[in-house]
Amino acid sequence: MTKTLCSAPFFHQVVHSTGQYNLCCSARTTTGKDYSDWNGADYQAIRKHMLEEDELPAECLLCTEQEESGAGSQREQLFRLYNSLDRPALDTVTGTSMDAPISLDLRMNNLCNLSCRMCGPEASTMILKEAKKNPDLPLWDDHDVKLAEKVHPFDIETLIKNAGSIFDLSLLGGEPSVQPESIALLEELVRLKKTNIRLFITTNGTNHNPKFFNLIQQFKRLCVTVSIDGWGKQHEYIRGPGANWDTIWKNVKKIQGMANNPKMMLQQTVTTLNIFDFWKLNKFNDTGIEIMTFHTYGPPKYSPMNIPDKWKKIAISIAKENSQYEENSNIWHQMNKPGDIKFVKGMKDYTAMLDSVRNQYLIDNFPIAYEMFEDIG
């Protein structure tokens, strides 16, 4: 793998519920580029750039920053995936001499049963409903109800028609276990006997839909990631009404015990809210499942990078006390960057407004974060 080449444009594609197509989930959106046509001019141009130029294009800025910090990147992950697919030959016109991507990252629609605090209406129908009911509630910096209303029915018929070309499939949310489109695609793959593909599911773990889980048990190379952002009531606070901790933890163990022995991961996003408490998941985890913890790349108000230096030191001290400090992790690398306290003040106001709407209280769930908010005034 060279530092000026990424395999993503040659075999991988991300499709969002809003109809937006991206090179990968980390790619920055570039104005004027159209990545909906797999063999179109923009795809051909970026493939040519990857093979001939001595620097990565603008879309790849995030991966470049992550690699320079010593953290892992999506580019590295996709190269590992590409290598596992027997390294198909790279072609500037079609990517891998096929007429469709062989690796798909799909967000079918925004149908979801939770309203996670760091999410937006285009990824959750529950947040869309809450936002419409409370129009004065500020959302993510780049989230908008109008954007959510652009969510359109996924072209599931075309997707099913091309299902035979898929070697690697990721289903994300909304929440895939409640989406009829995800179930329809899985049924078609089973019908085609394509159960040897690599299937990645990201779920919130609240819904153990028998039909969905009976389908994914038929796939021999299954990886299930459960999004967990805290332990017990702290997770419930972040994930909102419907995130019952006892149910989620029972479902985690049900998935772990499935007959096809899936690879599992718990994914925890570190934000301004849980930066002082994220270590608890690792301490109390009794499943043996690996936990992947990373710094949010969401809106600035959620980024611990922006908390005052005094509180950054407190967060590091708490992490060290609980054996959760790894100097080279992307959490602390991001924390070491200069921040802007105005975002934390915005987060304080937003949290208070959302607490009022949801009848929740930050002080009852994250007392150290509450103390920090009070300290900054």
- Which of 101, 117, 152 delimits the end of a domain? 101
- 274 inside domain: yes
Average pLDDT over residues 140-149: 62
Task: Please answer whether residues 170 and 197 qualify as being in contact, where contact means their C-beta atoms are separated by less than 8 angstroms.
Answer: no
Contacts of 285 (CB under 8 A, 6+ apart): 266, 291
Better pLDDT: 18 or 301 = 301
pLDDT digit string, tens, across residues 197-210:
999 999 999 998 99
Residue numbers of the domain that contains 340: 104-376
| pLDDT (0 to 100) of residue 151 | 59
CA atoms of 329 and 295, how far apart (whole Å): 9
The reply to whether the predicted model has a pTM over 0.75 is: yes
Residues 94 and 227 reside in one and the same domain = no
CA atoms within 13 A on the CB side of 265: 12
pLDDT digit string, tens, across residues 32-44:
788 888 888 988 8
CA atoms of 58 and 363, how far apart (whole Å): 41
**Does the pLDDT of residue 153 top 60, yes or no?**
no
Contacts of 191 (CB under 8 A, 6+ apart): none
- 1 inside domain: no
Residues 321 and 355 reside in one and the same domain = yes
Contacts of 40 (CB under 8 A, 6+ apart): 34
Residues 158 and 60 reside in one and the same domain = no
CA atoms of 212 and 214, how far apart (whole Å): 6
Task: Please answer whether residues 50 and 6 qualify as being in contact, where contact means their C-beta atoms are separated by less than 8 angstroms.
Answer: yes
- 155 inside domain: yes
Nearest CA-CA partner of 277 in 232, 220, 230, 243: 230
Residues 149 and 233 reside in one and the same domain = yes
Residues 112 and 92 reside in one and the same domain = no
CA distances to 15, 62, 78, 107, 356 from 26, in Å: 13, 7, 11, 14, 33
Residue 230 sits in a domain of what CATH number? 3.20.20
**Does the pLDDT of residue 31 top 70, yes or no?**
no
Residues 18 and 131 reside in one and the same domain = no
pLDDT digit string, tens, across residues 213-240:
999 999 999 999 999 999 999 999 999 9
| pLDDT (0 to 100) of residue 328 | 65
Average pLDDT over residues 243-264: 95
Residues 296 and 150 reside in one and the same domain = yes
**Does the pLDDT of residue 275 top 60, yes or no?**
yes
- 269 inside domain: yes
Residues 117 and 70 reside in one and the same domain = no
Residues 126 and 226 reside in one and the same domain = yes
Tokens of 134: 């409370």
Question: Position 73: which residue type?
Answer: S
Task: Please answer whether residues 101 and 95 qualify as being in contact, where contact means their C-beta atoms are separated by less than 8 angstroms.
Answer: yes
Nearest CA-CA partner of 100 in 10, 224, 173: 10
CA atoms of 121 and 131, how far apart (whole Å): 8
- Which of 50, 76, 101 delimits the end of a domain? 101
Average pLDDT over residues 255-277: 94
CA atoms of 351 and 328, how far apart (whole Å): 30
Residues 97 and 232 reside in one and the same domain = no
Nearest CA-CA partner of 151 in 170, 125, 126, 171: 125
Number of domains within the chain: 2
- Which of 71, 101, 131 delimits the end of a domain? 101
Question: In the chain, where do the E strands start and end?
Answer: 12-15, 21-22, 103-107, 168-172, 198-203, 221-227, 263-270, 290-295
- 2 inside domain: no
Task: Please answer whether residues 150 and 19 qualify as being in contact, where contact means their C-beta atoms are separated by less than 8 angstroms.
Answer: yes
- 52 inside domain: yes
Residues 61 and 40 reside in one and the same domain = yes
- 3 inside domain: no
| pLDDT (0 to 100) of residue 374 | 95
Residues 230 and 185 reside in one and the same domain = yes
